Amino acid sequence: MDGILNVYKEKGYTSHDVVSILRRLSSQKKVGHTGTLDPEAEGVLPICFGKATKTVEYITGQDKQYKARLRLGITTTTEDHTGEIIEQKEVDYNPIKIEEALLSFIGEYQQIPPMYSAIKIKGKKLYELARQGKVVEREPRTVYIHRIEIIKWLPPWEVEFIVNCSKGTYIRTLCVDIGEKLGCGGHMSALMRTQVGDFQLNNSLTLEQIKEKIKTQPFDQLLMPIPVLFENYPKVYVRSSADKSLLNGHTIYAPGLDVERSRGLQEGIVGVYTSHGVFVGLYQSIQEQNQVGYKPVKILI
């Protein structure tokens, strides 16, 4: 059983809880999630099964979209509503200033990861150190905010917004940084992940919906096939004479390529297919001793 399931993680579950439940429901040992969502957060959490677990890094590397709620005037130990209050300040709830502050983060942004995160420093997860009352210096990371749009004003303290961002962006920290910019502090009071790459909220399934569906259909029918994930990559096909070599994981050179069907020699990372159109994996274009070819990067068959 190989493929990806677009799961809607509800509040109260850890990402690991979701994996454990689906491992049991699918009777599949090889199951993995594609990016932690905190227990109090909800939304899109693609889950990979079987050989699709090899694609986790490609899914986690994709841009994401969130719907977040910012509570101004209160800073907390965890940067969200679950932490202890550190400081409380008066809020000047001025929509123009608030919107200006949010929009100022669009573009490249140096973000310091929160202490309550799974990032490791010297082999220790930051949240483990935070629970021991320790604070360690964290290096800023470059993230990218593509879009921020306010969707709901909730005076006198809150505002709800949509944010499209790069991999590795902490929305909790974004909320804290917006609060700092406004001079009143703030924290994230709610979070929903609405998109991971092409995985959308509107076609995700809750655990209860999955349980209902598998009463009348096999579990594997719920999965998105692996090749669909790489549909947007350039496609390269081999000739039948190169099928065996391809399936054995070898580098494929020009004589074995079906150049016409592949619409020329594609460059960069490509999806490679057998002469029968079966997706084999991701390959990197190479040029060795005047020979053009494709070297395997990730075999997924």
Angle at 272 between CA 266 and CA 274, to 5 degrees: 125
Strand 158-165 relative to strand 199-200, pairing: unpaired
Asked about 38 being catalytic, the answer comes back as yes
Nearest residue to 214 via CA among 21, 50, 47, 26: 26
CB atoms within 10 A of CB 111: 20
C-alpha dist (Å) from residue 264 to 174, 267, 285: 44, 10, 12
Amino acid symbol at 174: L
Phi, psi of 168, deg, nearest 5: 85, 5
Candidate list 2, 38, 80, 177, residue with the active-site label: 38
Angle at 42 between CA 117 and CA 59, to 5 degrees: 70
Specify whether the CB–CB gap between 236 and 273 falls below 8 A. Answer: yes
DSSP-assigned beta bridge partners for residue 76: 85
Determine what percent of the chain falls in helix, strand and coil, rounding each to the nearest 5: 25, 35, 35
Active site residues: 38
